[in-house]
């Protein structure tokens, strides 16, 4: 499949509709019928304001970056970005072209089986 890797960066403790933003993003993607997504917590990072966020043993601030990523078709990515904007979210994202598939060739990203 030719498509894109769409990933968003949110602060670990950021909330939307009283839910953690990364959890909300994953749930929204699932409800829109996308076939998978993942969230990864960073060890350290900095954003547009240049403030370094990093984990310290005694610090439980919860402001580390979380990367939430999806492999989607271009149409799905367009639909998701539009949906998120309509929900009032302002999120930084990256959209990178990607080729994705399975090593055994039995199934496509959308779950269908190729014709023999």
CB 16 within 8 A of CB 24: yes
Instruction: Give the pLDDT confidence score for residue 75 in this predicted structure.
Output: 96
Q: Rounded to whole angstroms, what are the CA distances from 13 to 31, 61, 63, 102?
A: 22, 8, 6, 34
The answer on pLDDT for 114 being more than 60 is no
The answer on pLDDT for 29 being more than 70 is yes
Select the more confidently predicted residue: 3 or 56: 3
Residue 96, beta-bridge partner list: 5
Give 48's contacts (C-beta < 8 A, 6+ positions apart): 92
Six-digit token string for 30:
């699932």
Rounded Cα gap, residues 47 and 101, in angstroms: 32
Instruction: Give the pLDDT confidence score for residue 112 in this predicted structure.
Output: 53
CB 65 within 8 A of CB 11: yes
pLDDT in tens, 34-93: 999 999 987 776 767 777 666 655 555 566 789 999 999 999 999 999 999 999 989 999
Rounded Cα gap, residues 38 and 72, in angstroms: 13
Tokens 């900095």 map to which residue?
Answer: 46
pTM attached to this predicted model: 0.78
The answer on pLDDT for 116 being more than 50 is no
């Amino acid at each position: 499949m030719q498509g894109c890797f769409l990933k968003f960066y949110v602060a670990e403790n950021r909330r939307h509709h009283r839910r953690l933003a990364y959890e909300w993003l994953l749930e929204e993607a699932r409800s829109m019928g996308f076939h998978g997504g993942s969230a990864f917590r960073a060890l350290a990072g900095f954003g547009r304001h240049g403030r370094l966020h990093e984990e310290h043993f005694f610090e439980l601030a919860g402001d580390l970056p979380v990367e939430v990523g999806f492999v989607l078709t271009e149409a799905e990515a367009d639909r998701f970005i539009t949906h998120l904007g309509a929900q009032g979210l302002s999120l930084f994202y990256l959209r990178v072209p990607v080729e994705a598939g399975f090593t055994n060739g039995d199934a496509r990203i959308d779950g269908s089986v190729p014709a023999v």
